[in-house]
Amino acid sequence: MTTTCSHCGAATAPSALFCSGCGRSLSQASVAIATPPGVPTLSGAPTLDILGTLRIALAGRYDVERELGRGGMATVFLAREPRHDREVAIKVLHPELAATLGGDRFEREIRLAAKLQHPHILGLYDSGVAEGLLYYVMPFVRGESLRDRLAREGQLPVDEAIQITLEVADALGHAHDHGIIHRDVKPENILLANGHALVADFGIARALSEADSHKLTQTGMAVGTPVYMAPEQSMGEKVGPQADIYSLACVLFELLAGEPPFAGKNATAIMARHAMEPPRSVRVVRSAVPEEVEEAIFAALEKSPADRPKSAAAFAQLLGAAPGSTATMRVRGYTATRRLPSNPYITTAPPAAPVARWRRPAMLGALGAIVALLLAGAAAWRFAGRGAASGTAGNGSGRVAVLYFDDRSAEHTLGPLADGLTEGLIDALASAPSLTVISRDAVARFRGAAVAPDSVARAVRAGYLVRGEVEPERDDIRVTLRLDDASGVNLRRVSFRRPAGNLLAIRDTLTDVAAELLRAELGQELRLKAQRASTASADAWLLVQRGEQARRRGEAAAANGDPAGNDRAFSEADTLLARAATADPRWPQPELLRGVVAYRRSRLVGRDPALIRRWVDSGVVHVARALALAPQLPDGLELRGNLRYWSWLMGLEADPVRQKALLDSARADLEKATTLNPRQAGAWATLSHLYYQVATPTEVQIAAQRALEADEFLSNADVILGRLFLSSYDLGQFDKAEQWCGELGRRFAAIPLAVRCRLYLLTTKNKAPDVALAWRLADSVVARAPAAQRPAQRLFMDMLVGAVIARASRTTPALADSARHVVRRATGDATIDPARDAAYTGAWVYSLLGDRDAALQLLREYLAANPGRVDAFRDDPGWWFRDMAGDPRFRRLVGATE
């Protein structure tokens, strides 16, 4: 008898628990078995004998027709139940497994599982023992398994993947409430019928969980599948609901990415990766996946069960589900309930940016990857200068995080008020010099999520949490405020009521009450500055909060691929903000936020210059009105600087003189914003990219570091950290580069640059030239890249490996030929590498090998494709080519005077 894995086709031994090729379990109906006639099956009895035995034993109750499928644990047969005139599926456990379980235990546990009544659980009709065969009867589903659909489509649409996950989470939550853990959640056990998911095999999971594990192992069977198995389950520890949540997160990852989060050559390798390695970023593979969905996956894939969502409902809530609603209703409201950062801004440049003044080694290939994420609409930031915690803080004892307040109204009508109070309180407390207040970006990801307070405090390294809720009480609004310590223990609590029509009194009272709570706990005076550019109009204030809520809905729609929904929500936001501007014509905030909406629209209209110009011009008009009311408003200067820089990047100005004026004015606005508010993190972040065009690597580095110091939780902190690494590498500051690479690995291990930076470091004198490691890192970077980028990334990464080999050839001369071979193979052509960046790196490899003729030839190709780089080479060739700077041929190439 031969067996093959239906996932990867690898041949497997009949006694194997897991596939040696892909590591998936062979103990379910995922194994295709080629059985010659008359040869016993895995059960030890010919299939025809089992079929015949069933037909005789169940005659009168079921007409058993034929086999549907079989695997390592059971065989499934199609039958008809005459009494109810319906088709059923009968699953028969193999005799050796039946002997391990025992008939009494099997029937007892099956009866418990049969009590599960839920629309997304495949129910159990019947069970029993027939001539020594243990069986149970299920509905026959005319559909397919989720595995079948994945095999056919590779990836599922984001909204369908979320719907399926929410439905499965509903089913798991129901089972968990009844004390039943599935233990083997995977695509094979999720059936799709009539557009909905059904979770199967709760019966066998319950029965196996109660079996003697030693005897079960002796049969060659195990509960769970390594690809989807939580670390504690693979180590044989007691499992709870969090193990199923972990498995479901693995399934969701695979639905979105087309492959599971962890893979390996065998089951042991896969289980080790589950236990030791952080999951990859699904958004690197699928940029359309909303950030909140990725964060939910990361939360559910925490190594310790204690750090995961406490229930399936909590996981669903992190995915955007509305508490207390059915799975179908939740997914319908998915885009409306997702939470995104407010006041989004640009972070990096698109591929069509004009020629930068300089471009150093580490930037080759890196800018394009960063930019691709930006154009997908995923990158956004806020006015980050307010309430931003320092990145150099210690253990967090003096750091305060204000979490978004809960709306306790029956119809959830107080959401705009709750958000406005939260953000106003963050701004107010951040104005106290003696406090370090965590930024909005840091706490926004926890809005509406069922995450334990101590987990939030750990994530943002806060010593204190301020939490609140608002609820209607007759004609009043009641606000309750809590101050917790980092362990989640409540220290102080206060509640107050104010008339519902006096919203500004609620806002101002809240600020005073919060300041008093913190004064009493910290034992120090808090001097709060008056809220900047505030309003005396309650109508205007509430309209701004409603406008912001509509804008967030628009951002969610855009992230979910719904341009019509995005346009409707943004139009609604602009209308509400225009009404706010009318209600208080002297308050700059409404016009400022109208500028933000227009700016975001310019980012979401694709590459059409006319549409981009329309919305950029609209944004400029609105921000001009805001700055006319408050000329020294840092947020306004930051927005205008970003609008101007975006115009320059998009090439909206054709005249070179006007181009330069546009870039100069963008720089002036952003620098003035940081002068007025040194903690204007968003302006610093933009400057760290703008300086690539007009300044030096040192200035890029300083700006990026200032951005992180102002707000370590910037929504694009990974990009800023990457920029710090790249600029340090380009400057030859390898100790600093290693430090920033380590920080990338610690905070953002799943992104490609966290791996790529390690490969770059192997090309420096700080690291031994480990060729084997270089190849592994290069392969990992290419595997993590989106499919469209992989050919180019293969060239870039191979060239860097060539540099490592060239360094190694200094002690092992025979390797020099290998380095040359890699360069020749990776040089590529204009179709894959139109900017000839691979040729640039290849020139450096030849330089390391001492072959200046070949180096100069590739440099000539690179500069011919990039004539705008000649001046930069002439001014400073960088450390890659500094030893060639005196060569007359190099000087002639870059136009240097003798």
Q: Can you tell me the distance from the alpha carbon of 335 to that of 563, in angstroms, rounded to the nearest whole number?
A: 12
**804 contacts: CB under 8 Å, gap ≥ 6:** 759, 762, 763, 769, 770, 771, 774
Written as one string, the DSSP assignment of 225-278 is: -GGG--HHHHTT----HHHHHHHHHHHHHHHHHSS-S---SSHHHHHHHHHHSP
In degrees, to the nearest 5, what angle opens at C-alpha 96 toward C-alphas 92 and 100? 100
681-686-688-692 Cα dihedral, nearest 10 degrees: -170
| φ/ψ (deg, to 5) at 149 | -70, -40
Q: Can you tell me the distance from the alpha carbon of 438 to that of 390, in angstroms, rounded to the nearest whole number?
A: 8
**376 contacts: CB under 8 Å, gap ≥ 6:** 287, 288
Q: Can you tell me the distance from the alpha carbon of 795 to that of 799, in angstroms, rounded to the nearest whole number?
A: 6
Quick one: how far is CA 86 from the chain centroid?
45
Tokens of 463: 């010593």
Reduced to 3 states (helix: H, G, I; strand: E, B; else coil), residue 342 is coil
Q: Can you tell me the distance from the alpha carbon of 664 to that of 890, in angstroms, rounded to the nearest whole number?
A: 32
| φ/ψ (deg, to 5) at 79 | -145, 170
Q: HSE of 372 in the Cβ direction (CA atoms, 13 Å)?
A: 16
Contact indicator for 430, 386 with CB cutoff of 8 Å? yes
Go through 840-869 and write b for each residue having 16 or more CB atoms within 10 A of its CB, e for each that does not.
bbbbbbbbbbebbebbbebbebbbebbeeb
In degrees, to the nearest 5, what angle opens at C-alpha 717 toward C-alphas 360 and 660? 50
Tokens of 550: 């509509």
Tokens of 536: 């005396």
What is the side-by-side order of every strand in the sheet holding 11-12? 11-12, 2-5, 31-34
User: What letter represents residue 134's amino acid?
Assistant: L
Q: Can you tell me the distance from the alpha carbon of 862 to that of 885, in angstroms, rounded to the nearest whole number?
A: 16
Tokens of 528: 């709060």
Beta bridge partners of 22: none
Q: Return the number of other C-beta atoms located less than 10 Å from residue 508's C-beta.
A: 16
User: What letter represents residue 120's amino acid?
Assistant: H
Q: Measured on CA atoms in the order 873, 878, 884, 885, is the torsion positive or negative?
A: positive
Helices and strands in the chain: count of H runs, count of E runs:
39, 17
Residue 51: burial class (beta carbons within 10 Å; 0-12, 13-18, 19+)? middle
Contact indicator for 163, 261 with CB cutoff of 8 Å? no
Tokens of 57: 């034993």
Tokens of 240: 């709870």
Reduced to 3 states (helix: H, G, I; strand: E, B; else coil), residue 749 is coil
Which ranges of 789-836 would DSSP assign to H, the alpha helix? 790-808, 816-826
C-alpha closest to that of 11 among 27, 41, 32: 32
For the chain, what's the residue count?
A: 898
238 is in an annotated binding site: no
Contact indicator for 266, 20 with CB cutoff of 8 Å? yes
Helix (H) or strand (E) segment spanning residue 863? helix 852-865
Annotated binding site for ATP: 91
Annotated binding site: 91
